[in-house]
Amino acid sequence: MTNEPSKSQHIEAPADDNRVLSGLLEIGRGLKTVLSHVGREAVTLEYPEVLPDLSVRFHGRLCLLTKSDGTDLCIGCKACARVCPCDDLIQIEMHRDGDKKPVIDQFTIDMGRCIFCGNCTEVCPVDCIKMLPDFELADYSREALVLDKYDLTLKGEDADEWRRTHGLAPSVT
């Protein structure tokens, strides 16, 4: 396939006095590089006071967008639950009312087990389940990480704002 390499070359160590001198020189060069960083602008953030500038596509907390008037957008198709790689992470219970319109009784997501892959957001046919640039999700108990429909649902105007920033038609009726 390829040429066989020549036998490994033994690298001659320089004579001792030479080595000391060149060693000191090289350490000096390294230190100069390190010291040149002193005057540069800091790259770290003072986190709790300064929040990072996150991208609009950030994979953060899941949420349910609503119609502009604040009513449910979800149609209960369970596509998100089907593509979720975690078992039973998204649980949906729904029924149909007199006009055969879907009514979502329950929509629970266990954020403690969510791996933030974004599969659910991609298959949603009505652009309802989406992700927010929110990463501060720590809580004191596992139960508190299980978000129900009330926790997940955004207000009408927030949902409009989300759609505006992500290039979708802002008002949905």
Residues that bind other proteins (CB under 8 A): 1-6, 8-11, 19, 22-23, 26-27, 29-30, 32-34, 37, 43, 54-59, 79, 82-85, 115-119, 122-123, 131
Q: Distance (Å, rounded) from C-alpha 114 to C-alpha 135?
A: 12
In the bound state with other proteins, the residue whose beta carbon lies nearer, of 23 and 102, is 23
In the bound state with other proteins, the residue whose beta carbon lies nearer, of 22 and 171, is 22
Least CB distance to other proteins at residue 151 (A): 22
For residue 13, CA distances in Å to 10, 16, 27 come to 9, 8, 17
In the bound state with other proteins, the residue whose beta carbon lies nearer, of 36 and 173, is 36
Q: Is 119 exposed, middle or buried (0-12, 13-18, 19+ CB in 10 A)?
A: middle
Q: What angle do CA 43, 46, 50 make, to 5 degrees?
A: 105
Region at 159 (left for phi over 0; alpha for psi -120 to 50; beta for the rest): alpha
Least CB distance to other proteins at residue 47 (A): 14
Least CB distance to other proteins at residue 51 (A): 14
Least CB distance to other proteins at residue 38 (A): 12
